[in-house]
Amino acid sequence: MSEDRIERDTLIDAPLERVWSLVSVPAFWVADEATVAGTVAKEGVSLIAKNPHLGEVSVRVEKVEPPTYVAYRWASAFPGEELRADNSTLVEFTLSAEGDKTRLRVVESGFATLSMSGDQREQALRFNSDGWPQVFDAVKNRAEQVG
């Protein structure tokens, strides 16, 4: 495992547009659903994601290229703080069609520049590494529901 990045991907049995509609909701992976329902990623928009386990986490939309790429910056290891270069990581979602299915890839990078001790950085990396499979399961379940 890299000390600076997490990379994961999964194949979802759903069309690209349906998966895009889920990942283009800012902070969908961390926010209480009620706080982000109806929002769509727009570059430069910031929000506070409310999470029952983490508290309030700052998230900013960095780049949007519908329907295949969206990038967010978030301060997952620094709940309650404004986003800064030394307290946030970049989360990039890339979608690609594979027949009638969609490949969803996430790359989270920037752990090496977090202003914290090596042990804390390793803990943040491990925590987020463990979280992405859960996020993928949730996205996959929602996208694959018909109707």
List the domain boundaries for the chain: 5-144
Q: How many helices (H) and strands (E) does the chain have?
A: 3, 6
From the list 73, 63, 1, the residue with the least C-alpha distance to 30 is 73
Q: What is the structure's pLDDT at 63?
A: 98
Fold of the CATH domain 5-144: Alpha-D-Glucose-1,6-Bisphosphate; Chain A, domain 4 (3.30.530)
Bridge partner list, 47: 59
For the stretch 60-91, pLDDT in tens is 999 999 999 999 999 999 999 999 999 999 99
Q: What percent of the chain has pLDDT over 70?
A: 97
Q: What is the structure's pLDDT at 1?
A: 52
For the stretch 84-112, pLDDT in tens is 999 999 999 999 999 999 999 999 999 99
Query: Over the range 60-86, which residues count as b (16 or more CB within 10 Å of their CB) and which as e?
Result: bbbebeebebbbbbbbbbbeeeeeeee
Helix axes 16-23, 118-144, angle to 10 degrees: 140
Task: Give the confidence band of 147 by pLDDT, cuts at 50, 70, 90.
Answer: low
Beta carbons of 7 and 21 less than 8 angstroms apart = no
Q: What is the structure's pLDDT at 108?
A: 98
Q: What is the structure's pLDDT at 135?
A: 96
Beta carbons of 65 and 84 less than 8 angstroms apart = no
